[in-house]
Every structure is written in C-alpha cells, then in structure tokens.
C-alpha cells in the first residue's frame, strides 16, 4: 500500500500541478481518497520527502496560512511539447486518428492545465493525410528487419482511377533487403537492395502491404558502405528526380529567398546584376517538375543556362502551347 500511495501521489502532482498551479495538503488528501487511499498529513510529508530523494523536484510555497506543493520541472517543457504537436500535425503520413492518439499521449507528459494549452493547438487542417493506418506497424517491421539483418517480403501497389490500391506484379511478393528509411516529400520511403535486379531501390511505405521479416540475411552491404542517404533522397526520391545539371537562372532580387529556402544557402551562388536582378547558379536534377516550379515564379525567374536545359524549357513550352490550343 505504501508503494501504491507513492505512485498515486506522484501521479496527482504530475497531473494537477505545474509552475502556476499547486495543491495544498487537504487537496492532496482528497485526491488520494479518489483512488481509495486514506492518508494523514504526517505520512504525506514523509512521502513527499521520499519522492524528492528519488529525484522528483517538488516546490513548497507559502500560500496564505497554508502551503502548496507543485512539480515545476518535467522531462519536457510546454514549449517543447508544442513543437512536437506541431510536428505531428504537419506530418502527411500520420493519419488524423493516429495524430489525435499521439497528441493525447503528449498531453500526459504535462499537467491538465498545460494539456489544455496543447489541445487548443489541435486543429485538423484540410491537407492530405495518409490513409494507411498500418503504416506504423510497417515501419516497425522494417526497423526490426534492419536490426536483425534480415530481408523482408511485401506486396506493393499504386492507386488506380477507382481510388483503390492496385497491387503490382499481379500481387506477387517483393523480396528486398532493407537498409534505411527516409522521410521526404511528407512520406516515408524504405530504401533497400534488390538482389535479383542487383540495384538499390526505394518504396513508399504506405503502399506496402502484407509485410513480414524473412529468415534470409540481408544482401547488398557493399552498396551501402559509402551510401549517402541525403544524396540518394535528393536524386531519386525528391520531386526533382532526373539528370543533375548546374543551372543559371536570372531572377529579380525580391525572390532570392524562395531559392535559398528551397535549395539551401550554401548550395547557391549569387551574382548581383543591375536593375534589381541577380544571376544564381546551383546544381539540381532537371525534369519537368523542376522546370514547372520555375514557371510558377512567372516573369521573376528565367533559366538562361546551360543551353541544353534552355532547349528543354523551350520544348516544354512548345508542348504545353500545342496541348492547350483550341
């Protein structure tokens, strides 16, 4: 009973106190009574001392003719929990249901008063959310396979015009050696080695089904000795997948931040020109998505080199013009 009382006393202080809210001795006794635990003031003084000796930071404050007790320091500050809530809400691969569950767990790390402040931040925005609730179990299975140095097998699909996940290879299993997980473009990707094809491949985790760990040891270790996850992700998974080229773009100075935000300050060379314009140079994978992104900046940006990329731009413009002719 002694250990049980200490447990509930700690629980009560965690849930009902923080730097702005404390409990007096009678309130503590009443709260313990809610758990059917009878306690006297003298024993609670001793219990609080035991909690403090165990490392729990309990502050005693004179309030009128009484004293209040509160836990001020916790593993996570409220500001840190708010950051985690924001991160969870911004993750496309976390479903609305799972988001609510995770935020509920975060609320248990602070007092009920602070939890209210977290809850006021919980809004469901009109963004696309992953529809696959099993993604969390899939991620766990992949990590287990990596940790145990084992291959995995799974079925893989893509969306059809009926909004159904249609399995590829007629529903046959893929056998892959998983080596890494990447979170990019608001999706989880498994990066692994396909022994049959002899190459590194990647798969979107939310499109994997019927996954399991096999008894086969992983293969492809030699391909991952000098593997650069960030470089692979940028070249093969990002929206700018394609041949890498160093491009020069003429821009108006007021949009330089758009390029720095997207490609990184250290990756871009800026050459100031006249009339509020600059030339910027950086390396990027060239494909229609990248060119279309530059188009979205309108007259404020113009790709001027190299000539082969400019020619791709012209061909794309010509194709679009032809497609939209009446």
Model confidence pLDDT, tens digit, residues 235-279 = 777 655 678 899 999 999 999 998 888 887 888 899 999 899 999
**How far apart are the C-alpha atoms of 42 and 166, rounded to whole Å?**
68
Sequence-separated (6 or more) residues with CB below 8 Å from residue 256? 270, 278, 280
Bigger pLDDT: 230 vs 319: 319
Position 120 pLDDT exceeds 50: no
Provide DSSP, 236-284: IISTT-SEEEEEEEEEEGGGHHHHHHHH-GGG-EEEE-STTEEEEEEEE
Spell out the alpha helix ranges (H) of the chain. Answer: 2-16, 25-33, 41-53, 78-90, 96-107, 112-119, 135-148, 229-232, 256-263, 288-295, 307-323
pLDDT at 23: 92
pLDDT at 238: 64
Q: In what order do the strands lie in the sheet with 66-71?
A: 23-24, 66-71, 58-63
Task: Tell me which fold the domain 243-323 belongs to.
Answer: Alpha-Beta Plaits (3.30.70)
- The CATH-assigned architecture of domain 2-71 is Orthogonal Bundle (1.10)
Model confidence pLDDT, tens digit, residues 29-80 = 999 999 888 888 889 988 898 888 888 888 899 877 888 999 888 888 888 8
Model confidence pLDDT, tens digit, residues 135-145 = 888 988 999 99
Q: What are the CA-CA distances from residue 57 to residues 75, 110, 113, 280 (Å)?
A: 11, 14, 18, 54
pLDDT at 1: 61
Position 222 pLDDT exceeds 80: yes
pLDDT at 240: 56
Buried-state track 109-144, b at ≥16 Cβ within 10 A, e below 16: bbbeebbeebeeeeeeeeeebbebeebbebbebbee
Cβ–Cβ < 8 Å for 188, 93? yes
DSSP 177: E
Bigger pLDDT: 18 vs 235: 18
Cβ–Cβ < 8 Å for 233, 225? no
Q: What is the rounded average pLDDT for all residues in the chain? A: 86
How many Cβ atoms sit within 10 Å of the Cβ of residue 325? 6
- The residues pairing with 174 across neighbouring beta strands, listed in sequence order, are 154
From 2.30.30, 2.60.120, 1.10.3470, 3.30.310, which CATH number describes the 141-237 domain? 2.30.30
pLDDT at 136: 80
**How far apart are the C-alpha atoms of 186 and 117, rounded to whole Å?**
26
Question: For the chain, which residues make up each domain, given as ranges?
Answer: 2-71, 78-119, 141-237, 243-323
Position 221 pLDDT exceeds 50: yes
pLDDT at 281: 95
Sequence-separated (6 or more) residues with CB below 8 Å from residue 51? 6, 9, 10, 13, 58
Nearest Cα neighbor of 206 from 95, 283, 126 is 95
């Amino acid at each position: 009973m002694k250990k049980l009382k200490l447990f509930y006393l700690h629980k009560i202080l965690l849930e009902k106190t923080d730097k702005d809210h404390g409990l007096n001795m009678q309130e503590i006794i009443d709260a313990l009574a809610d758990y059917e635990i009878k306690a006297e003031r003298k024993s609670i003084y001793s219990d609080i001392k035991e909690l403090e000796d165990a490392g729990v930071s309990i502050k005693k404050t004179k309030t009128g003719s009484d004293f209040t007790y509160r836990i001020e320091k916790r593993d996570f500050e409220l500001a840190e929990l708010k950051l985690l809530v924001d991160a969870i809400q911004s993750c496309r691969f976390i479903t609305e249901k799972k988001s609510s569950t995770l935020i509920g767990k975060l609320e248990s790390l602070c007092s009920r008063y602070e939890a209210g402040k977290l809850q006021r931040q919980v809004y469901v925005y009109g963004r696309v959310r992953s529809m696959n609730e099993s993604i969390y179990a899939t991620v766990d299975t992949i990590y287990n396979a990596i940790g145990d140095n084992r291959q995995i097998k799974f079925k893989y699909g893509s969306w059809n015009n009926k909004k159904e996940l249609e399995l590829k290879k007629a529903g046959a299993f893929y056998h892959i050696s998983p080596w890494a997980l990447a979170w990019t473009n608001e999706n989880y990707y498994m990066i692994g080695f396909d022994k049959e094809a002899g190459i590194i491949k990647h798969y979107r985790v939310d499109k994997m089904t019927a996954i399991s760990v096999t008894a086969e040891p992983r293969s492809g270790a030699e391909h991952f000795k000098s593997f650069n996850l960030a470089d692979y992700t940028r070249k093969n998974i990002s929206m700018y997948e394609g041949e890498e080229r160093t491009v020069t773009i003429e821009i108006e100075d007021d949009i330089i931040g758009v390029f720095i935000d997207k490609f990184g300050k250290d990756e871009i060379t800026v050459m100031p020109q006249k009339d509020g314009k600059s030339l910027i140079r950086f390396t990027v994978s060239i494909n229609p998505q990248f060119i279309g992104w530059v188009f979205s900046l309108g007259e404020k940006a113009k790709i001027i080199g190299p000539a082969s990329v400019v020619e791709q731009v012209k061909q794309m413009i010509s194709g679009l013009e032809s497609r939209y002719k009446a």
